[in-house]
């Protein structure tokens, strides 16, 4: 069964550094998403992306964050200057975008900011 793949599985970075989290969505999916889950807390929406532009974004998704689909397969989340509170599990998801289609989530990247 096709799946969403994310790399790396774990990223450790120092505060103030830039990180790029990478995702390969399911190939025939049209909508792409980033969510995050701080340890022990709810899963939170960050951003949705369709037709090479952001569809919706949350208040969390401030100027420090950006997303890109640099080629036909990858979807990336960049955090420009990481803060301690950015430490979380970041999940990429994709969807066919149909009314009844679920989001398919990747295995996540655990980001630790020290």
Q: How many C-alpha atoms does 51 have within 13 Å on its Cβ side? A: 3
DSSP-based three-state secondary structure for 36:
strand
Binding track, positions 14-33, relative to other proteins; x by CB under 8 A? -----------------x-x
76 makes contact with other proteins (CB under 8 A): no
Nearest to 31 by CA among 101, 97, 113: 97
Token pair of 107 as six digits:
């295995």
Q: CB 32 → other proteins: shortest distance, Å?
A: 9
Q: Does 104 bind other proteins (CB under 8 A)?
A: yes
Give CA–CA dist 106/24, Å, rounded.
9
Q: For residue 109, state whether it binds other proteins (rule: CB under 8 A).
A: no
Q: Does 65 bind other proteins (CB under 8 A)?
A: no
Pattern of binders to other proteins over 81-100, x per CB under 8 A? ----------x-x-x-xxxx
> Whats the size of the chain, residue-wise?
114
Q: Which is nearer to other proteins, 45 or 65 (CB)?
A: 45
């Amino acid at each position: 069964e096709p799946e969403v793949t994310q790399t790396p599985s774990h990223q450790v970075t120092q505060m103030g550094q830039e990180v790029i989290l990478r995702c390969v969505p399911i190939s025939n999916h049209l909508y792409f998403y980033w969510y995050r889950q701080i340890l022990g807390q709810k899963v939170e929406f960050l951003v949705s992306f369709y037709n090479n532009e952001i569809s919706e974004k949350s208040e969390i998704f401030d100027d420090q964050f950006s997303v890109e689909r640099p080629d036909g397969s990858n979807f990336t989340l960049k955090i420009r200057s990481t803060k301690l509170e950015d430490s979380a599990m970041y999940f990429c998801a994709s969807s066919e975008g149909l009314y009844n289609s679920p989001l398919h989530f990747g295995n996540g990247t655990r980001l630790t900011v020290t």
